[in-house]
Amino acid sequence: APLTLSGPSEIAEAAASFNQMQERLNRYVEDRTTLIAAVAHDLRTPLMRLSLRLEKAPDAIRLAGEDDIREMSERIGAAMAFVREMTRHVRRQRLDLRSLAESVATDAADRGGDVTLLPGPAISMEGDAPSLKALLTNLVTNAVHYGGNAQIALRRERDVAIVEVSDNGPGMVPSDLVRAFEPFFRAERSRNRDTGGTGLGLASVRAVARAHGGEAKVENRPTGGLLARVTLPV
């Protein structure tokens, strides 16, 4: 929230400058996300024209082209969903982080995923439940998809809640760890839709964590596999 303009003139002037800076930064972010959404939306029209033109092409070219158009459409849809999520109005409330994790673990297990939530006490915090659930879902989905399983551990250290999701997969090379949270970056080099996602899952995780005043990191486990760690103030 904007700072209150009260106190000595020097403090009030500094608060006013801070509020003005905040307003400009918010406007910059809004303009950028609006541009991304507009470009993603407008790309759907030429893609539709391409799909119609491909109907007259030879089968080999038509099938390959349809696959490319389908992949591009999926990426556009993912980009627009990402923008909508990042610009959605956030409603903070007191919640139990462990209950959210239990819900995500149960949903993933119902879909056939090998997911384990380690036992522990409830962790209460102020947060946006849909965003935090999406954060947990992205981490678990990545672990199951790339590592074959997901183990969720939650604990509290002083005024910070720590969420760790680990797997037994191949991990990531050091150069990919540095770029893991970049939008559209995928460590999966095949660029195949069946083996690699859109590359927005971890970007969304970090955005949600930072929106709550926290942070997200990934690292290789000494025993093998990847560990994603999210810290959230409570």
Q: State the DSSP string of 163-187.
A: EEEE-SS----HHHHHHTTSTT--S
The predicted structure's pLDDT at residue 90: 67
Residue in 54, 47, 2, 46 with CA at minimum distance from that of residue 24: 2
Q: In this structure, what token pair is assigned to residue 207? A: 């955005």
Strand segments (E) across 18-168:
93-96, 115-117, 124-127, 150-157, 160-166
Rounded to the nearest angstrom, the gap between the alpha carbon of residue 197 and the centroid of all alpha carbons in its chain is 12
Asked whether the beta carbons of 217 and 139 are under 8 A apart, the reply is no
pLDDT tier, 45 (very low <50, low <70, confident <90, very high otherwise): confident
The predicted structure's pLDDT at residue 87: 65
- Return d(Cα 178, Cα 217) in angstroms, integer: 9
- Return d(Cα 137, Cα 50) in angstroms, integer: 34
Over residues 123-130, the mean pLDDT reads 93
Asked whether the beta carbons of 195 and 188 are under 8 A apart, the reply is yes
pLDDT tier, 193 (very low <50, low <70, confident <90, very high otherwise): very low
Between 87 and 229, residue with greater pLDDT = 229
* CATH tag for 93-233 (out of 3.40.50.720, 3.40.190.10, 3.30.565.10, 3.20.20.140): 3.30.565.10
3-class DSSP assignment, residue 159: coil
Question: Residue 204 phi/psi, 5° resolution?
Answer: -65, -40
The predicted structure's pLDDT at residue 159: 93
The predicted structure's pLDDT at residue 192: 43
- Reported CATH class of domain 9-87: mainly alpha
pLDDT tier, 86 (very low <50, low <70, confident <90, very high otherwise): low
Task: Kindly list the domain boundaries of the chain, sorted by start residue.
Answer: 9-87, 93-233
Instruction: Identify the top-confidence range among 19-23, 164-168, 172-176, 204-208.
Output: 164-168
Residue 150 has pLDDT above 60, yes or no: yes
